[in-house]
Amino acid sequence: MTAEAPLFWHQGLFLTPQHLQLVDWRQHVKLQAVVRYSQRHFWGIGALEVRADALAARKVEISRVEAVFQNGFYVCSPDNAVAAARSLDEAALDADRPVGVYLGLKRLNHAGSNVTVQQDFSLSGTPPSTFVAKADPEAVPDLHAGGPPAQVKTLRFALAVFFEHELPHLGDFHLIQIGRVRRESDKFLFDEGFIPPCLTLGAAPALEKIVKDVTDLVTARARALEDYKMRGELTSKEFDPGYMVFLLALMTLNRYAPLFNHYVEASVVHPWDVYGAFRQFLGELSTFADDFGALGERYDGEKLVPDYDHENLTGCFGAARKLIERMIEGIGTSIELLVALQKKDSYFVAELPERVFNPTNRFWLIVRTDQNPEAVPQTVLSTVKLCATPLMATLLVKAVPGVPLSYSKNPPAGLPKRSGTHYFLLDSGNPLWSDVGRNRSLALFWDNPPEDLSVHLAVLRGK
């Protein structure tokens, strides 16, 4: 029996169950065609909830699942599907490797007999058919005319949980891997980093986290490069052609930061579309790389960015994320941190993360003011004091110098040249700087500072 061909309705037709079944399946076939040609890989998990207490009792029990199988069947448990629990004692778990967990639906038998009739919708063991039905019909109300309820029998998709070692014997089932279970001592845990074949970004928390992390990374690095924007006050005399690489990098980051943020906000985007954007982003980033090209391949043919694999989203998205992080880490700047010192009482202060106090890092004070620019360098060197925030009061009382500064007429490599901006290298070998590292805070005192003063600390990575 085939559902592709339309039925020939005519006068005097003797109606049979097959006619109505074919009408039902033809609608399904038409929907399949729409999906097949409008979205690649439109199958997988839409939502999944596994009972944590059942896992503690050595069982896999699905409390809620939405999924589309490879044949286009949409299942939604408990609304139109039932799923049997499965004991983890049957999973053949080793302590050193996780085991794949699969959701299965028996393939439709086109020769007939696809429904198992039983007393209720409960399941145990491997389902013998695609559907189950109750022996007794259910009362269904008349939604249109409000007439008396009618007795109707409905079907439920019969779902089953399978384990990885059973796959060779499951050729007559559609399968979706929903997770990986690992054993730690006497506990069973789902692998939180696993990404199942899914319909949307929001359907897989691990995938959503990867996209959010990449979005945050791209946005943060774009902000770090904003000083390279072609602002109106930049003159041809100040422009350094070497800054073009930073400007090009900023253009690339600014192009993709809104798109990735849009994906995160929507969360209903298919992973195929997100991965395509990742590959396109890496294609542009390859402009700044000397070891791979636009398609993510090394020049010896090795693929750093694998092709999209709907059944291995963990692998392909993990590889893309790793390469994006590597490229952004070194793209167009050696800035480890750029932080503004905020005015607080009589000081300008900033909190510094522990990671920046690497012995090879260089620390630059960036002072911006348009007031009397010729006198600023000497004023800073003679009057400004720098030290750890808790020590500033003592330093002022004793009238001793702070962390020594060295003025540079030109900005260091990696920092832009701007009018009214002055750069000072801090002596990180000074004992007072050790106090800054211990307190992870920095304070600057400037007696009677300019009204338009802004102060930043830039941490540049060492070689």
Each residue's pLDDT tens digit, 80-92: 999 988 998 888 7
pTM confidence score: 0.74
Q: Which helix (H) or strand (E) holds 221?
A: helix 205-224
- Looking at residue 29, its pLDDT comes to 79
Supply the DSSP string of 243-275, one letter for each residue.
GHHHHHHHHHHHHHHHHHHHHHHH----HHHHH
| Domain membership flag for residue 14 | no
Same domain, 132 and 78: yes
Structure tokens at 461: 């990575």
d(CA 366, CA 324): 29
Residues in the chain: 463
Same domain, 236 and 376: no
| Domain membership flag for residue 417 | yes
Same domain, 44 and 175: yes
Tell me the average pLDDT across 315-327: 94
Whole-number average pLDDT of the chain: 88
Tell me the average pLDDT across 267-278: 96
| Domain membership flag for residue 20 | no
| Domain membership flag for residue 21 | no
Instruction: State how many domains the chain has.
Output: 3
Question: Pairing between strand 385-387 and 62-68?
Answer: unpaired
Same domain, 321 and 364: no
Q: Can you say how many angstroms the Cα of residue 315 is from the centroid of all Cα atoms in its chain?
A: 13
Least confident of 12-16, 212-216, 281-285: 12-16
Same domain, 367 and 277: no
Partnered with residue 179 across adjacent β-strands are: 101
Distances (CA, A) of 203 to 21, 47, 79, 217: 32, 5, 18, 22
Residue 326 pLDDT > 70:
yes
Per the structure, the complete domain to which residue 365 belongs is given by 335-460
Amino acid, single-letter form, for residue 418 = R
> What's phi and psi for 352, nearest 5 deg?
-120, 135
| Domain membership flag for residue 32 | no
Same domain, 320 and 364: no
- Looking at residue 2, its pLDDT comes to 62
Structure tokens at 123: 């399941």
Q: Domain end: 296, 330, 364, which one?
A: 330
Same domain, 402 and 297: no
- Give the CA count within 13 Å in the CB-facing half-sphere of 429: 2
Same domain, 358 and 250: no
Q: Is 208 in contact with 201 (CB distance < 8 Å)?
A: yes
Same domain, 272 and 235: yes
Structure tokens at 101: 């967990």
Q: Domain end: 263, 298, 330, which one?
A: 330
| Domain membership flag for residue 6 | no
Same domain, 379 and 454: yes
Same domain, 324 and 205: yes
Residue 350 pLDDT > 70:
yes
Residue 441 pLDDT > 80:
yes
| Domain membership flag for residue 12 | no
- Looking at residue 6, its pLDDT comes to 83
Same domain, 262 and 386: no
Distant-in-sequence, close-in-space partners of 296: CB < 8 Å, separation ≥ 6: 279, 282, 283, 286, 303, 304, 305, 323
d(CA 317, CA 270): 13
| Domain membership flag for residue 265 | yes
Q: Domain end: 289, 311, 330, which one?
A: 330
